Amino acid sequence: MKSKWFLWLIAVLIGTALAFPTMIFAAEKKAAQPCAPAKMEEKKEEKAEKKAKKAAKKKAEKMEEKKQ
């Protein structure tokens, strides 16, 4: 009878060890979400800059072709 409390204690420890990492991971994931819109805006700005550079490059090429 004395050893049953030990088995329960081990079961509780294993259960908490399995439960806590998943809860912590979920909390970290939610904490990271507010940053996501800022990153999306940065990506949009980078894409817009790339498009502007490509458009400027094409325009310059067309101007050179017209000059020739």
Who has greater pLDDT, 8 or 20? Answer: 8
Per-domain boundaries in the chain: 1-33, 35-68
The candidate with the shortest Cα–Cα distance to 37, out of 45, 25, 48, 28, is 45
**pLDDT on residue 30:** 61
Distance CA 33, CA 29 (A): 7
**pLDDT on residue 5:** 84
Query: pLDDT by residue (tens digit) across 18-63?
Result: 877 766 666 666 655 666 677 778 888 889 999 998 989 888 888 8
CA dihedral angle for residue 34, residue 35, residue 37, residue 41, rounded to 10 degrees = 160
